[in-house]
Amino acid sequence: MAKRIKKIAVMTSGGDSPGMNAAIRSVVRACAYYRTECVGVYRGYQGMIEGDFTLMTARSVNNIIHKGGTILKSARSKEFMTVDGRKKAHENLLEHNIDALVVIGGDGSFTGGVVFNKEYNFPVIGIPGTIDNDIHGTSHTLGYDTALNTAMDAIDKIRDTASSHDRLFFVEVMGRDAGFIALNAGVGAGAEEILIPEEDLGLDRMLESLKKSKRSGKSSSIVVVAEGDKSGKNVYELANYVEENLPEYEVRVSVLGHMQRGGSPTCFDRVLASRLGVKAVELLIDGNSNLMVGLKNNEVIATDLEKAIKGIQNIDMELLRVSDIMTT
Amino acid sequence: MAKRIKKIAVMTSGGDSPGMNAAIRSVVRACAYYRTECVGVYRGYQGMIEGDFTLMTARSVNNIIHKGGTILKSARSKEFMTVDGRKKAHENLLEHNIDALVVIGGDGSFTGGVVFNKEYNFPVIGIPGTIDNDIHGTSHTLGYDTALNTAMDAIDKIRDTASSHDRLFFVEVMGRDAGFIALNAGVGAGAEEILIPEEDLGLDRMLESLKKSKRSGKSSSIVVVAEGDKSGKNVYELANYVEENLPEYEVRVSVLGHMQRGGSPTCFDRVLASRLGVKAVELLIDGNSNLMVGLKNNEVIATDLEKAIKGIQNIDMELLRVSDIMTT
Amino acid sequence: MAKRIKKIAVMTSGGDSPGMNAAIRSVVRACAYYRTECVGVYRGYQGMIEGDFTLMTARSVNNIIHKGGTILKSARSKEFMTVDGRKKAHENLLEHNIDALVVIGGDGSFTGGVVFNKEYNFPVIGIPGTIDNDIHGTSHTLGYDTALNTAMDAIDKIRDTASSHDRLFFVEVMGRDAGFIALNAGVGAGAEEILIPEEDLGLDRMLESLKKSKRSGKSSSIVVVAEGDKSGKNVYELANYVEENLPEYEVRVSVLGHMQRGGSPTCFDRVLASRLGVKAVELLIDGNSNLMVGLKNNEVIATDLEKAIKGIQNIDMELLRVSDIMTT
Amino acid sequence: MAKRIKKIAVMTSGGDSPGMNAAIRSVVRACAYYRTECVGVYRGYQGMIEGDFTLMTARSVNNIIHKGGTILKSARSKEFMTVDGRKKAHENLLEHNIDALVVIGGDGSFTGGVVFNKEYNFPVIGIPGTIDNDIHGTSHTLGYDTALNTAMDAIDKIRDTASSHDRLFFVEVMGRDAGFIALNAGVGAGAEEILIPEEDLGLDRMLESLKKSKRSGKSSSIVVVAEGDKSGKNVYELANYVEENLPEYEVRVSVLGHMQRGGSPTCFDRVLASRLGVKAVELLIDGNSNLMVGLKNNEVIATDLEKAIKGIQNIDMELLRVSDIMTT
């Protein structure tokens, strides 16, 4: 039978995303509710190795639900990839009588959790926190909804200028190897073209479509490009390519960049964080491990942590079709 | 066999909600894509009775996806509740060779559509547009996600003042007879108490909880109250009641009001509107009628329009529990 | 000769306003720059009486410039209006070797400072922090620019609904006895009518103007009403009055309320707070007292604190005229 | 004596900026108020050459005060730099009985106006519309306040990530050859360093300051760089230079780009636009020409158009000092 869980550690790891603080708050409050102690680990696995811990009570997380970033800070730890690093981390956990770990992060962070769990049979639950939405086992990762709105609002602003000057803008959005942000923010912002890694339609098709758009009376256009786009050209090269082939267009480029990772989380991300944090704690208290909590069909579910890492989160092909119809 | 659909009318009806313009745009563009004519009807059923129509092309809906309100305007029509009114409306549709109707609105608007369909066997598809999220057959109505964020952002601002002055605020949010906005915006804003029509826990419990909150070191508190709350007291009476019973609290009231109906739609609402509009047109072209398009498990589905009106959209009891845990 | 200032206390007092934290930060950092100690006083004069002090270094104010509310909290103190209360406050200041005081607040708070200064010859500098902009000696008070934008954004949202339904909205904004917020947010939001305490044109004129507006083809209208309006009717009574006299209008009311006091300060308010805080500290170090720092013609100036209280901040009559022309 | 002005043309020219629509609205409504006809010219001087005119009434400008961009579109016209181009433009104005011109734009646009006025003695008034605030004769140009807030909000978001990861961010903001946006948005966002063209302190000083900041306990930093910075390195080279010399910092770059030109104008910009538009029309009606309207000491004034072009708008040295003190 599983050991009774009396003290849980929580950390954020990998790239930060809006909603991480709301998730920390939820884990801490759920621990308080279930009369379980809670310890915050600073700077992810690196802080675990260095024993950078802080005791957290329900009051420690007052007034953080609306904050971007993570009060526990985040980092990438090379040392945790070594046997020695993980050994130190484990010793620190034991020394502080910590019985289980909640990791808020992306697939890299979960991989660390899986290895650690295998080596030390230490209970680990993952909460998917990344703006990229590229995690299997959840329809939404924490921060994704916020990043969509941040990117879309920026493109709305760029459209003001694009329309005023009859220009064509190439706007690069984040998303690593996934096109979720590009596709959804692109549809939301009414982009004329959306280039995503999941579907490489070739540059000729884009030229054809832009030509058609011009003929149909549209004088300005927005092309949203996912950073992981597979066209073989980066966003600047794409812009040059179009300018050379379609001299009727005046082309500009904007790379939205790191602002997409920050900002106050949307209501969706805050509510999701609150739900996932409670579930993570309850799963640990009930003796579970090696799971990731996530959302499927608006319900909180648990997925095997290894499956979450290896699985693929498929993009919605129906939405690609809707996007095509919208640019009629 | 169903008559081929060559011309579709689209209207907005009942209370406006963010995303209605995005849905109009989607219906119009989907019509253009399928080479079907599209006509906009101004001011809902009233405009249909008065023949207030406008031809719409893909270009008519340029640059409206991000706008709150509805470019087709909305109204409530008493005349359409009469046999004569509907007769006039039907004659106008025939005169303009309109074969089918897309109604964007809430349950009152759908009721009109059902009656009209029965009387004239006229194809009608509904798109759920209301901030209240009180429609059966869809997990999200158009405008609901935007209203959540508008309400939450306002409560975030109120919290600044509540914390600075150690005050207790009662904040009334919209939602008619449903507690969706109150529950989700309340959890998102970290409210200490949330009063919704679906769960009347009694005023004693609230007093007890506020007392406990004070003892636990929280000096300020937010109570979110749904406008349809069943406590038997309105928000001002609630505030007085608490002030009388808990003199340690300095109480204030804020009624967020109509601003919750407006504003630029969130990415979620714009994408949802784009998806639902296309589906509505495709259903009509495929010979369907008397359906409402909606979202279930992140997929676009169709529900019998009468079921959508009569069914009940249940609130998420798990989230009520999460809310309790968060206020530990 | 004035005593050398080695330790300065800073407090926020009266109603909170956005930018107060930025001003605290500026006072603290300016003290650090000039190697002067700095002490924060919690809850204004009440905290001074209770000795609720905290030592502040440049690092204590990291990451607060963007926050609404005040980390030092605010309160109204009846006890400070008594001789005994002020005596206790003075003793606490002496005990902590505090040489001077910066008060961030409105005229009520400055009155306290003037009395205290007279009784104990204690150096006091005021920083005008209120959303109402009703302080003589500065063109802008801290929080005013933010409140303008908050009110205007809310009215923008209400306009979406007003236009969609051809309605007339009465929107009450804050401002106590001054019409600054109403006039500027009203012009910014394109309101058809603006009712302010400084200019009572009578209700007949408003009716006339609304009639004209309807005739000219405007189907929706916004009337912005300052809370201190002198028409003799509150906003609900005004709405009823118009509905009775102009039945062609469907009237609604919205009271924006306390959200106008919160939220992240605008760039203007943050920069102003930074400038005023530095000046306050420099004035004290240079041996001054009984002054308020403020902005005139984009330059930071000092005004006699008593004049700031007694003087009247006049509203811009040119803008009233512009407002009339805009509603042609 | 000057000819009576019966018809006024208005255009936007050069880079667009938030508030241009509010200024167009103001010019159009002021014309209506003074019973003067008003004509909108599309795409600036180019549209004047091509005769691309539209009659505007008070109703043409309903519901545009809050919109970014310009409904009259903007363009740069090479043809207007030629004698022939200006001749065509003049002929078009005469043909449409246009008596005077309001140009909303920056110094390039005003130069065109000055030349045109000299050649044809045609009444021209300029309204300063640019986010860069680099026009002599006004403390604020239209769009500047909005751009400040857009840039600052983006930096606020970036700070979330910077703090979470203990990183150093170089953020490039717009402003052409002027540092107004960088200095004010930098102070507003609490940037640790601000590099502007007006003050080149050398790279060594920046390194020294960043070292000191690290020692003082700050783990993350933001350096705001004006696009016209004179350090001799672009923002990417600066980042590399720092990374090489201060390996303790993990450095990232973000170029905010074109989103700074768009978005809904702030209350300040909308009110300013309303005031300047009225004044421009009144000056023309009163027989004036060759002036730019602007804001000085919160009052609307007129400056000789040539002086506006040639003069220099000086940056506020006091604010530079405040910025230094804030980064103590």
Check whether A3 has a pLDDT greater than 80: no
Tell me the percentage of chain B whose pLDDT exceeds 90: 88
Which residue intervals of C126-234 are DSSP H helices?
144-165, 180-188, 203-215
Structural tokens at position B11: 């209207």
> Would the pLDDT of B1 be above 60?
no
When the pLDDT of each residue in chain D is averaged and rounded to a whole number, the result is 95
Distance, CA of D2 to CA of D285 (rounded, Å): 9
Q: Which residue in the block uniquely carries the two structure tokens 């190897």?
A: A177
Residue B328 has pLDDT above 90, yes or no: no
Name the H helices within chain A. 20-33, 44-50, 83-95, 107-120, 144-165, 180-188, 203-215, 235-245, 267-285, 305-310, 317-326
CB D226 within 8 A of CB D148: no
How many residues are there in chain B?
Answer: 328
Name the amino acid, one letter, at A50.
E
Question: Minimal Cα distance from A146: which residue of D?
Answer: D157
CA separation for the pair D326, D306 (Å, rounded) = 38
Residue B323 amino acid letter: S
pLDDT at A200: 80
B13 has pLDDT over 60 = yes
Residues in chain C whose Cβ is within 8 Å of chain B: 12, 16, 18, 20, 67-70, 73-75, 150, 154, 156-161, 163-166, 169, 252-263
Q: Which two tokens stand for residue B65?
A: 């996806």
Tell me chain B's radius of gyration from C-alpha atoms.
Answer: 22
Show residues of chain D in contact with A255, CB under 8 Å: 255, 257
Q: Is A276 left (phi over 0), alpha (psi -120 to 50) or beta?
A: alpha
Q: What digits encode the pLDDT tens for the residues A47-93?
A: 999 999 999 999 999 999 999 999 999 998 999 999 999 999 999 99
pLDDT at residue B303 in the model: 97
Taking the C-alpha atoms of residue C22 and residue B309, their distance in angstroms, rounded to an integer, is 51
For the record, the structure tokens of D118 come out as 């000299």
**CB-facing half-sphere around the CA of D171: CA atoms within 13 A:** 36
Taking an 8 Å cut-off on Cβ atoms, the answer to whether A326 and B26 are in contact is yes
Nearest CA in chain D to A147: D157
For D256, the 3-state DSSP assignment is coil
The answer to whether the beta carbons of residues B309 and B109 sit under 8 Å apart is no
pLDDT at residue A66 in the model: 97
Work out the pLDDT band at C2, boundaries 50, 70, 90. Answer: low
Phi, psi of C3 (to 5 degrees): -65, 145
Stronger pLDDT, B76 or C182, i.e. the higher one: C182
Taking the CA of residue D301 and the nearest CA in chain C, the distance in Å comes to 12
What confidence category does residue D2 fall into, taking pLDDT thresholds of 50, 70 and 90?
A: low
Q: Confidence band (pLDDT; 50, 70, 90) for B2?
A: low
The confidence band for A218, taking pLDDT boundaries of 50, 70 and 90, is confident
Is 80 exceeded by the pLDDT of residue C328?
Answer: no
Q: How many CB atoms lie within 10 A of CB C48?
A: 30
- Decide if the complex's ipTM is over 0.90: yes
3-state SS class at A225: strand
**pLDDT (average), residues D36-51:** 98
What does pLDDT average to over chain B?
A: 95
Q: What is the pLDDT of residues A138-177, one digit of tens each?
A: 999 999 999 999 999 999 999 999 999 999 999 999 999 9
Express each pLDDT in B49-96 by its tens digit.
Answer: 999 999 999 999 999 999 999 999 999 899 999 999 999 999 999 999
Summarize pLDDT for B111-139 with one digit per residue, the tens. Answer: 999 999 999 999 999 999 999 999 999 99
Q: Which residue has the higher pLDDT, B158 or A199?
A: B158
Q: A126-142: per-residue pLDDT in tens?
A: 999 999 999 999 999 99
On chain B, the residues whose CB falls within 8 A of the CB of A37 are: none
Chain C residue numbers with beta carbons less than 8 Å from the beta carbon of D156 are 66, 264
Residue B43, CA distances (Å) to B76, B164, D280 in order: 8, 45, 39
pLDDT band at B311 (very low <50, low <70, confident <90, very high): confident
pLDDT at C56 over 70: yes
pLDDT digits 0-9 by tens, C74-133:
998 999 999 999 999 999 999 999 999 999 999 999 999 999 999 999 999 999 999 999
AA identity, residue C311: G
Judge: B156–A275 Cβ closer than 8 Å, yes or no: no
* pLDDT in the model for residue C89: 98
Q: What is the pLDDT of residue D312?
A: 85
DSSP-assigned beta bridge partners for residue B103: B11, B126
Query: Residues D16, D99, D107, D132: which is the catalytic one?
Result: D132
Q: How far apart are CA C321 and CA C317, in angstroms?
A: 7
In angstroms, the CA A232 to CA B119 distance is 58
Query: Quick one: average pLDDT of B237-261?
Result: 95
Nearest CA distance, D203 vs chain C (angstrom): 22
Residue of C nearest to B250 (CA): C75
Query: Which range has the worst mean pLDDT, A9-18, B101-110, B214-223, D278-287?
Result: B214-223
Nearest CB to B148 within list A32, A148, A267:
A267
In chain B the domains, ranked by start, together with CATH numbers, are 7-143+265-310 (3.40.50.450), 145-261 (3.40.50.460)
Does the pLDDT at position C223 exceed 90? yes
What pLDDT is recorded for position A232? Answer: 86
Sign of CA dihedral A29, A31, A32, A37: negative
Asked if C264 and D156 come within 8 Å (Cβ–Cβ), the reply is: yes
- Provide DSSP, C139-163: S--BTHHHHHHHHHHHHHHHHHHHH
Please give the positions of A annotated as active site: 132
A77 within 8 A of A105, measured Cβ to Cβ: no
Is C33 in Cβ contact with D274 (below 8 Å)? no
Catalytic residue among B99, B132, B134, B145: B132
Residue type, D126: G
Nearest to C99 by CA among C38, C140, C148: C38
Q: Which chains have at least 3 CB atom pairs separated by less than 8 Å from chain A?
A: B, D
pLDDT digits (tens, 9 = 90+) for C20-50: 999 999 999 999 999 999 999 999 999 999 9
For C188-203, write each residue's pLDDT tens digit.
Answer: 999 999 999 998 878 8
Name the band, by pLDDT with cuts 50, 70 and 90, for residue D305: very high
DSSP A286: T
Token pair belonging to C256: 């924006």
Sheet holding D53-55, edge to edge: D53-55, D37-41, D7-12, D100-105, D124-128, D291-296, D299-304
- Smallest CA–CA separation between D41 and chain A, in Å? 13
Q: Which segments within chain D are labelled E, that is strand?
A: 7-12, 37-41, 53-55, 100-105, 124-128, 167-173, 193-195, 221-226, 250-255, 291-296, 299-304
> Closest Cα partner for C270 from D163, D298, D153, D328?
D153
Cβ distance of C185 and D25 shorter than 8 Å: no
pLDDT (average), residues D17-32: 98
**pLDDT tens column, D115-163:** 999 999 999 999 999 999 999 999 999 999 999 999 999 999 999 999 9
**How far is it, in rounded angstroms, from Cα C20 to Cα C71?**
9
Half-sphere exposure of D159 (CA within 13 A, CB side): 24
Q: Averaged over D291-307, what is the pLDDT?
A: 96
Asked which of A197-206, B316-325, D59-68, D188-197 is least confident by mean pLDDT, the reply is: A197-206
Average pLDDT over residues B157-180: 95
Closest to A54 (Cα-Cα) out of A37, A35, A67: A37
